[in-house]
Amino acid sequence: MRLGFLILLLYCSFAKADFNCEVALQYGLVVTDQQIRVIDNSRTVYQINGDSQLMVGGNWIELSDPEQQQQLAALANGLHMVVPKMILLANEGVELAVETVEQVYSGLMGKDHKSQEKLQASLNRVQKSVREKFIHANNTYYMGPGRLENVDDFVDRELEEQIEQVMSTSVGGILSAIGGLVTSEQSTEQKVDELAQRLENMGVEIEQNVAPKAQSLKQKAEWFCKKFKALDKVEESLRLSVKELEPYDILATGERQAVTSN
């Protein structure tokens, strides 16, 4: 059995998308039915009520220019549309990753392997951390600052470390099983052939069950990327014409990405 193939299988289970969005959310966003709040370290720096009332630092900013009003409405309506859907997509993506890792691990090691509990605990931490970064409670949606790149990059470095721990647990358990081949009643060759067949079967299952879902996630992520880039242009025009908004750049694309919180 080729260990490289196994690691590749585990790696692919995270449904990596082959595009780079280059969009960063530089502040937290809280979106409700009637309000958008821009958050910096738990402090609301500005908010939009409905799609027409702008408040910066607690002060109401009157926009008398019709073009400014249109830009504010476009920004508000765009964020109302994409933020809730983006949060759902982020959770959908991590659920797919977790589901696939479980499938790969169980297919190789079975449900009763001693490290299954440790693996599940690590996966649960990943899901919990994503839910804390992308929150949906009743009609309120919160999205924390960070770069929005590939489907699997909806998690920050802390989550990536946890995912690495999951993969280390999985590979460690598998290597342990391989190391015990010599003590098996079956010959080493027979056992290796059996594991190779199970790997091949899992590859087929993942291709059939996971690949379509991963492709769907990628298409959704590409759609969101375009929407965020369009909203970034609207926001930039608004910031240039409303001086109170100049210090606050919610969205940044391309080389303007400056998020350090990740």
Question: Which residues touch 220 (CB under 8 Å, ≥6 apart)?
Answer: 89
pLDDT the model gives residue 160: 58
pLDDT the model gives residue 13: 45
pLDDT the model gives residue 166: 58
Cβ-contact 259, 26 below 8 angstroms: yes
pLDDT the model gives residue 257: 59
Helices 188-209, 66-109: inter-axial angle, 10-degree rounding = 150
CA-based nearest residue to 77, from 226, 230, 217: 230
Instruction: Kindly report, residue by residue over 179-237, the tens digit of the pLDDT.
Output: 554 455 556 667 667 767 766 777 777 777 777 877 887 788 888 888 999 999 999 99
pLDDT the model gives residue 101: 73
Which segment of 18-27, 36-45, 74-83, 250-259 scores lowest on mean pLDDT? 250-259
b/e for 142-169, b at 16 or more Cβ within 10 A? bbbbbbbbbbbbbbbeebeebbebbbeb
Q: Compute the CA torsion angle 137, 138, 144, 147 (nearest 10 deg).
A: 110
pLDDT the model gives residue 123: 77
pLDDT the model gives residue 211: 76
Whether residue 21 is predicted with pLDDT greater than 60 in this model: the reply is yes
pLDDT the model gives residue 124: 82
The pLDDT > 70 percentage for the chain reads 66
- How far are the Cα atoms of 5, 45, 55, 81, 249 from residue 245, in angstroms, in the given order? 51, 10, 10, 21, 8
Instruction: Kindly report, residue by residue over 89-126, the tens digit of the pLDDT.
Output: 888 877 877 777 777 777 666 665 666 777 777 778 87
pLDDT the model gives residue 185: 57
CA-based nearest residue to 22, from 261, 262, 259, 255: 255
Q: Return the half-sphere exposure (C-beta side, CA atoms, 13 A cut-off) of residue 26.
A: 16
d(CA 136, CA 159) in angstroms, rounded, equals: 19
The overall average pLDDT reported for the chain is 76
The pLDDT > 90 percentage for the chain reads 31
pLDDT the model gives residue 162: 60
pLDDT the model gives residue 251: 92
Per domain, the residue ranges of the chain are 3-253
Cβ-contact 173, 130 below 8 angstroms: no
pLDDT the model gives residue 111: 61
pLDDT the model gives residue 3: 35
- How far are the Cα atoms of 61, 70, 71, 152, 248 from residue 243, in angstroms, in the given order? 10, 17, 14, 36, 10
CA-based nearest residue to 225, from 132, 157, 147: 147
